């Protein structure tokens, strides 16, 4: 099994494997331990701002809702793809009133609204049909809030689902950990990760990557490597995100040797590094006062068939500029021009 991170001793793994609470219920979460519940919304009253989703004027031109569920789902998704949100939600609500909207379609609409950047519409649609809520619905809302840097709201949805007796799954926990990590609430993110074990939920790769990112961002590099080691030991294969996060953690610690060890382990596991991984390696070279080694990174990158883009050249120019290596910096700039890679403002700031 691929794992050779060379973890230093940190007094044990950073995660606990306590027993599930005696009540058998999932515990609520919160930075202060306080109960945070999102008030259950009532159906929108007539003539309210929410009512725009309820009339037949929001349906398709014929005012008909497809009888076939597959056709219904396709019709709603087509409307959403074309920005006809009111029409899509009106059709969904009409289908629900006639008993033809399943939880699957409901969750699909929520997910599509989130991907379209319609966070408020998704929230309103979620609140309008409480009977449709399941673990996937809550998880979608938590993930949506996480991606919008709304950790407090994500935490509210989590606590609300627990209060409703809906058991969180690995995806739910992963989304909440990501939400907390994005807000730099690292201690809370770690607590949620530990609660996965105590509640009998086996972390998935996304959850492991999220907590590794949290440890890395809080300068707890040994804990990050310890979790990565545990990840492999329990059969969760580290992916490109795992390795990339660890390389970035090494860069922040100015440990270029360890960064390259992670890179070599990554290659040994037949995982092709992305350009982001190479940028982190270049950064590690600069932070460790090994600017010349950045050239080695560029050669490795090209040998792997990964085409350098603007951020890669920016990282190279930044390293050379900080070490007063003017000729090398200009060499990178000229290579950018030859490869028709447009420079960005960062390139010029590096010269100041």
Per-residue pLDDT of 256-286, as tens digits, reads: 999 999 999 999 999 999 989 999 999 999 9
Lookup result for tokens 């569920």: 69
What CATH number is given to the structural domain containing 335? 1.25.40.10
Expressed as residue numbers, the domain containing 74 is 46-132
User: If you average pLDDT over every residue of the chain, what do you get?
Assistant: 78
Assess contact for 230 and 242: CB atoms under 8 A: no
Looking at per-residue confidence, does 312 or 73 come out higher? 312
DSSP 40-106: PPPPPPTTSGGGGGTSGGGS-TT-PPPSSHHHHHHHHHHHHHTT-HHHHHHHHHHHHHTT---HHHH
- Least confident window among 65-74, 240-249, 333-342: 65-74
Q: Looking at the predicted structure, is the pLDDT value of residue 325 above 80?
A: yes
- Nearest alpha carbon to residue 3 among 234, 346, 187: 234
Question: What is the pLDDT averaged over residues 31-54?
Answer: 34
Same domain, 98 and 194: no
Q: How far is CA 214 from CA 188, 220, 225, 252, in A?
A: 10, 9, 12, 13
Same domain, 147 and 105: no
Q: Looking at the predicted structure, is the pLDDT value of residue 52 above 70?
A: no
What percent of the residues of the chain are helix, what percent strand, and what percent coil, each to the nearest 5? Answer: 60, 0, 40
Question: What is the pLDDT averaged over residues 71-83?
Answer: 75
The confidence band for 212, taking pLDDT boundaries of 50, 70 and 90, is: very high
Lookup result for tokens 């990565």: 228
Question: What is the pLDDT averaged over residues 31-46?
Answer: 34
Q: Looking at the predicted structure, is the pLDDT value of residue 50 above 60?
A: no
Domain count, the chain: 3
Assess contact for 124 and 106: CB atoms under 8 A: no
Q: Looking at the predicted structure, is the pLDDT value of residue 66 above 70?
A: no
Percentage of the chain lying above the pLDDT 70 cut: 77
The answer to the question of residue 26 being in a domain is no
Assess contact for 281 and 308: CB atoms under 8 A: no
The confidence band for 344, taking pLDDT boundaries of 50, 70 and 90, is: low
Q: Which regions of the chain does DSSP assign to beta strands (E)?
A: none
Same domain, 247 and 345: yes
Most confident among 74-78, 214-218, 226-230 (mean pLDDT)? 226-230
CA 92, CA 71: separation in Å to the nearest integer? 12
The confidence band for 154, taking pLDDT boundaries of 50, 70 and 90, is: very high
Q: Looking at the predicted structure, is the pLDDT value of residue 29 above 90?
A: no
Dig out the tokens for 139 from the structure.
Answer: 């998880």
Which of 189, 210, 237 terminates a domain? The answer is 237
- Nearest alpha carbon to residue 37 among 166, 213, 158, 198: 158
Alpha helices in 129-169 (DSSP H): 135-147, 151-163
**28, 34, 39, 40: CA torsion to nearest 10:** 20
CB neighbours (10 Å) of residue 61? 6
The confidence band for 28, taking pLDDT boundaries of 50, 70 and 90, is: low
The answer to the question of residue 331 being in a domain is yes
Q: What is the pLDDT of residue 53?
A: 38
Same domain, 228 and 256: no
The answer to the question of residue 3 being in a domain is no
Length of the chain: 352
- Least confident window among 20-24, 242-246, 335-339: 20-24
């Amino acid at each position: 099994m691929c794992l050779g991170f060379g973890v230093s001793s940190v007094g044990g793994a950073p995660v606990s494997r306590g027993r599930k609470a005696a009540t058998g219920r999932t515990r609520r979460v919160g930075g202060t331990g306080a109960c945070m519940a999102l008030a259950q919304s009532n159906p929108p009253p007539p003539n309210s701002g929410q009512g725009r989703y309820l009339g037949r004027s929001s349906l398709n031109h014929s005012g008909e809702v497809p009888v076939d569920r597959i056709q219904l789902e396709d019709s709603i998704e087509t409307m959403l793809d074309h920005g006809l949100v009111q029409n899509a939600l009106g059709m969904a609500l009409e289908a629900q009133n006639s008993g033809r909207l399943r939880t699957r379609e409901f969750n699909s609409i929520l997910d599509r609204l989130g991907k379209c950047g319609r966070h408020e519409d998704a929230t309103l649609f979620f609140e309008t049909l409480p009977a449709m809520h399941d673990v996937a619905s809550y998880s979608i809302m938590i993930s949506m809030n996480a991606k919008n840097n709304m950790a407090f709201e994500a935490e509210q949805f989590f606590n609300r689902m627990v209060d409703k007796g809906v058991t969180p799954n690995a995806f739910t926990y992963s989304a909440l950990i990501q939400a907390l990590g994005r807000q730099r609430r690292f201690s809370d993110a770690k607590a949620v990760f530990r609660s996965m074990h105590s509640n009998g939920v086996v972390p998935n790769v996304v959850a492991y990557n999220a907590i590794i990112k949290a440890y890395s961002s809080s300068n707890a590099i040994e804990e990050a490597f310890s979790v990565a080691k545990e990840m492999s030991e329990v059969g969760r294969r580290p992916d490109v995100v795992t390795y990339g996060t660890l390389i970035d953690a090494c860069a922040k610690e100015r440990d270029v040797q360890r960064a390259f060890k992670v890179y070599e382990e990554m290659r040994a596991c037949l995982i092709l590094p992305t350009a982001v991984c190479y940028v982190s390696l270049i950064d590690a070279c600069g932070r460790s006062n090994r600017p010349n080694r950045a050239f080695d990174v560029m050669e490795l990158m090209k040998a792997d068939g990964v085409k350098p883009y603007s951020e890669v050249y920016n990282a190279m120019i930044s390293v050379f500029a900080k070490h007063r290596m003017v000729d090398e910096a200009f060499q990178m700039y000229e290579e950018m021009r030859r490869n028709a890679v447009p420079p960005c403002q960062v390139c010029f700031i590096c010269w100041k």
